Chains A and B, each alone.
Chain A
Amino acid sequence: MLIAVLAGLIVATLYIPFGKYLKGRLAILASALPIGLFAYFASFIPLIGSGKEASFHYPWVPSLGINFDFHLDGLSLLFALLITGIGSLVFLYASAYLSGHKYLDRFYAYLSLFMAAMLGVVLADNVLLLFIFWELTSISSFFLIGFNNDNADSRKSSLIALGVTGGGGFLLMAGLILMGHLSGSYSIQDMMGSHEFLKSHTLYGLILLLVFAGAFTKSAQFPFHFWLPGAMKAPTPISAYLHSATMVKAGVYLLARLQPVLGGTDFWTYPLIAIGGITMLYSAFHSIFRTDLKGILAYSTISALGILVFLIGIGSPQSLLAASVFILVHALYKAALFLITGVIDHETGTRDVTQLAGLRKVLPPLAVGGLLAALSSAGLPFTFGFIGKDLVYEATLHTEGILHIVLTALAVLTNVLLLYAGLLAGVKPFTGKLPARYDHVHLPHWLMWGPPLLLSLLGILFGCFPTLADNALLKPAAQAMYHADINAPLKIWHGFNLVLLLSAGTLALGTFLYFIRKPSASGLKRIERFENLSPKHLFSTLARLVRVFSRRYTSILHNGFLRAYLFRIILFAVCLLAFRLFTGGPVQFVLDNVTPISGYEIVVAGILIVAIYLAVTTPSRLTAVVATSVVGYCICLQFVFYSAPDLAMTQFTIDTLTVVLFVLVLFRLPPFLNFANRSVRIRDGILAGAFGLVIALISIQVLNQPFDDTVSRFYGDNAYLLAKGKNVVNVILVDFRGMDTMFEIVVLSIAAIGVVSLLKLRLKTSEKE
C-alpha cells in the first residue's frame, strides 16, 4: 500500500533523468502507472464490497505521532478508483493532446506527483499525513495551472489558486492539530471513538471553523470559489482531472471523512447547507452566462461541489448515499465534457460556444459522447445522472419541517440551470449547421476521443445497471460517511411519486430554457458589471494592498546600509535581553565567584581601549582596519587567558584573514568618507555601551545560577572512551555533533558559491560597460 501511494512520487523523480526519452511515441508508456494503480485498487473491490475495511501501518516519525497509516474503506476506495481511473484516461488523452510538447516530461512528472498526493489524501488515516498530502495537491495544482508559464494570465491564476488553497490549508492544519491534540490521537479511526468528547468541547466551534476553511477553499465554495474558473488556464486534461474530477473534491472528501467525527450537530449541518446551497445556486446561475466552454464547465463544477457540500450537510442516510452517487456521476460526465471541450479547442482553435455549431458532422464519436454526457448531467432516465438526481431530491424532501420545501426548491432550481449548462457544453457545439470555416476539422487520434466516449458510456452503463456500482462501491462509501449501515439499494424505477414529478419538471424546464435562450456575449457583459463586488476582486485588492505594504516596509527596514542594519539588530537585542533580564527577577550583583583580575589582563584591556578609540576617531581607513584587527587579537588573548585555546586559534586565523580581505579590496573602495557626525557617534556609543552593560550583567547573573554540568561532564567523561579523543572540543565537533559540522561545511560551501556567483555577475556587467 505504501508503495502504491508513493509510486507517483518515485516515478515523478524518474522523469528528471529519463523524461527526455519519453517525449515521442513512447509518451503513452507514462499511462502504465495510473493503469497499474487502478488495477491494484480495483482488486480491493471484493473485500470492500463484502463490508470489510483494510488498514495499513508503517511507522514514520512515531515519536511525533506521524505515521504512514492508511485506511481503506468504501469512501477511500471510491476516490482512489476515481483518481486512478480518470487518471489513466487523462494520461492517455494527454499523450495525444500534448503530443510533441516541449515539456511533456515535466507535465507527466507533475501529474504523477499530483496523483500520489491525491491518493495520499484519500487513503491517509493519520490527519497529519493527510495534511502533508493535502498541501502536495495544492502545490502540484499550482505547477499544473501555471504549466504555460510564458503566459502572464496563467501565472497569475496559479498564484491565486495557490494563495487561496494554501491559506485554507494553513487553517486546516491548525484545525487538524487541534483535533488530534484534544482527542489524544491523530488517527481518524481513533477520533471516531472520541467524537462525543470533541463535539462537546468548548473548542469544537473553532475546530469546525478551521476545518471548514480548509475544505471550502479547496473545494471552491462561495466565497472562495473564484480561483477555480481562473484555474481553467491549465491545459484541458488538467482541468478535467484536477479541477473537476479529483482535487477540488478533496474538500468534499475531507468533510465526508470527518462527518462521523464532527458531524451531526447544528454547527455542522446549517453552515454546510447554507454555504453549499449558496454555492450551488450562485455558480449554476453564473454558468449559464458564460460563453467560454471551459467557463461554463468551471462554474457548473463549482455548483456540483456545492451540491455535494449541501448533501453532506444534510447528513441523513439518503443524502449521504446521494452524495456518494453524485460524486461518481459528476466525475464521469464532467470529465467527459472537459475532455470533449479539449478536443474541440484543439481542432477548431476556439472554445466560444456562440461560434461553435454542427461539429457532429466532423467529430461524430465526440458528438455521441457529448450527447450522452449531457443527458447524464441532465438526469434523463436510464442515465446514471437520473439516479443521482432522484437521490438528491429524495434527500431534500426527507429533511425536517419547513426546510424541506426551501431545500427542494433550491435543488430543483440548481438542477434546471445545470441541465441548461450541460446541454450548452455537450450538445450545442454539435448541433445546427456546420460553419464553412470548420470544414477542414478532422477527427484526432483515437486516444483523444476514446476516453471521453468511454466515460460517457460508463454513465449510461451504471444508469441501466446501478447494482454494478452500488453494492461494491457506493453503499460502502455512504456507510463510511454515515458510520452505520444504510439499507437503500439504488433503483432505476421508484414508481410514480413526487420525486419523479420533480425530475420530469426539471427536465422540462431545463430543456425549455435551452431552446429559448441562446448564449450571447451581451449576457456575459451584463453579469461582468458586478465584477467589482465579487470576492475575486476583493481578494486581488487585498493582495495588492499587501504588496504595497511590503514594499513600504521593505524600503524602511531594508535600506541597504550595513550600519543601519547593525544598529537595529543590536538595538533590538539590547531591548529584548534587558527586558528578559529585568523581568526575570532581581539582578544580583555578586562578585564572589569571579577570578581575580591579573596584571596582563589589565594591559590587554588597555590596548583594547586604545585600539577602539583609534578605530572610531581615525580619518584613515587603513588605520581603522588595523585598529579593528587589534581589537580582534586582544579578544583572542582573552580566550587564551581563560583556557579556550581552540577558540583562540580559530579566532586568530579568522582575524588575520579578515585583515587580508580588507587589504585586498582596500584600493578598490571609494575614498574614505566619514558618515558619522558627532551626534551619530554619541548615539552609537550609547547603544554600544548599553549592549556591553547588558551582556556583562547577564554574565554576572549566570555565575550566580547553579551550574548544571551534566552535558559537559558527559562529553568530558566519554570523549576518550567513546571517541578515542582527548581534545573534547574537537571530539564534539567531529564525532558527537558531527552532523552539525557536516551541515556547517555545507553552508560554508553554499556561501562560497554565493560570493563567487555574485562577484562573477558584477564582473560581467562591468565587462559590458
Chain B
Amino acid sequence: MKSTILKTASNYLLPILLLFSIFILLRGHYHPGGGFVGGLIAAIAFVLHSFTNGTDATLKLLRIHPSSLIPVGLGLAALSMAAPMLLGKPAMTGLWFDEPFPVVGMIGSALFFDLGVYFVVIGVVLTILFTISQYSE
C-alpha cells in the first residue's frame, strides 16, 4: 500500500507493538493478557509492517522464516511441561523461583509455557498470512 503516513507510522509502530505484546505476555499471569493474545499482537505488528514495506522486506527483517518459530515454541512448551519430571514431580507441576525478578516479576515454568504458546502463535499466523500474500502477489 502506497501511503507515506502509514509507511512511516508502521516503522515506529513495529517496535512499540512488539514491546506491547511482550508486556501483554508477561502480565498475563496477573491481569488480562497472556501468550495467545501477545502472540497475536506481535503477529499483527509484523503484518502491518509487511503491508507497507512488502512481505519480502518483513521476511528480511525477521531474518528467520516465521515457520521456524513453530517448532521453537512447541519445544519450549514441551520442555516446560517435562521439566518438573526431572525433579521427580509429575509433568506440568508449576515450578517457581521464590523471589520475584525485577521488571518481569515472578518467573516459573508456566511463564515459559506461555512463551512457547506466544512463539507458536506468531509462527502459525505469520506463516499462513505470508504464504497467502506471497501466493496472491
Contacts and interface: CB of A to CB of B under 8 A. Distances in A.
Contacts of A726: 29-31
Contacts of B67: 752, 756
Interface in A448-502: none
Contacts of A748: 120-121, 124
A293 interface: no
A208 interface: no
Interface in B13-58: 24, 28-37, 40-41, 43-44, 47, 51
B32 A756 contact: no
Dominant SS at the B interface? helix
Nearest to A653: B40
A190 interface: no
A668 B40 CA distance: 25
B135 interface: yes
A650 B37 contact: yes
Contact of B35 (A661, A667, A734, A759): A734
A741 B133 contact: no
A187 to B, nearest CB: 29
B44 A649 contact: no
B128 A746 contact: no
A724 interface: yes
A725 to B, nearest CB: 4
Given A656-B44, A665-B136, A745 B110 contact: no
B40 A654 contact: yes
A664 B137 CA distance: 9
Contacts of B29: 724-727, 730-731, 734
Nearest to B114: A734
A452 B72 CA distance: 55
Most buried by B among A667, A668, A729, A741: A741
A650 B21 CA distance: 12
A478 to B, nearest CB: 49
B37 A653 contact: yes
A645 B77 CA distance: 24
Contacts of B73: 745
Given A724-B94, A739-B92, A752-B128, A653 B74 contact: no
Interface string A757-769: 0011011000000
B44 A653 contact: yes
Interface string A641-664: 000011001100110110011001
A747 B93 CA distance: 23
A763 B132 CA distance: 10
B44 A730 contact: no
A488 B24 CA distance: 82
Given A645-B32, A649-B32, A657-B44, A738 B128 contact: no
Chain B interface residue count: which class? 35 or more
B85 interface: no
B20 to A, nearest CB: 11
Interface string A519-547: 00000000000000000000000000000
A667 B78 CA distance: 40
Interface string B105-122: 010101001101100110
Interface in A715-763: 722-727, 729-731, 733-735, 738-739, 741-742, 745-746, 748-749, 751-752, 755-756, 759-760, 762-763
Contacts of B121: 745, 748
B37 A756 contact: no
B34 A727 contact: yes
A368 B67 CA distance: 65
A745 B113 CA distance: 11
A759 B73 CA distance: 23
Given A724-B96, A742-B81, A649 B33 contact: yes
Contacts of B30: 725-727
B132 A664 contact: yes
A664 B47 CA distance: 10
A727 to B, nearest CB: 6
Given A742-B78, A749-B70, A749-B124, A650 B40 contact: yes
B60 to A, nearest CB: 19
A738 B136 contact: no
A763 B32 contact: no
Contacts of A668: 136
B123 A752 contact: yes
Contacts of A763: 135
A667 B116 contact: no
A752 to B, nearest CB: 4
B131 interface: yes
A742 B31 contact: no
Contacts of B92: 735, 738-739
Given A653-B41, A657-B44, A756-B131, A730 B70 contact: no
B116 A745 contact: yes
A181 B40 CA distance: 50
Nearest to A645: B32
B9 interface: no
B129 interface: yes
Contacts of A730: 28-29, 33-34, 114
A751 B40 CA distance: 16
B124 to A, nearest CB: 4
Contact of A725 (B51, B70, B110, B124): B110
Given A730-B34, A752-B127, A759-B131, 8 more contacts: A657-B44, A723-B110, A730-B29, A733-B117, A735-B94, A745-B121, A748-B120, A751-B128
Across the A-B interface, give the 9 residue pairs with the lowest CB-CB distance, nearest first.
A653-B40, A645-B32, A725-B29, A726-B30, A752-B124, A745-B120, A730-B34, A668-B136, A730-B28
Interface of A: 645-646, 649-650, 653-654, 656-657, 660-661, 664-665, 667-668, 722-727, 729-731, 733-735, 738-739, 741-742, 745-746, 748-749, 751-752, 755-756, 759-760, 762-763
6 contacts: A657-B43, A745-B120, A748-B120, A748-B124, A751-B124, A759-B131
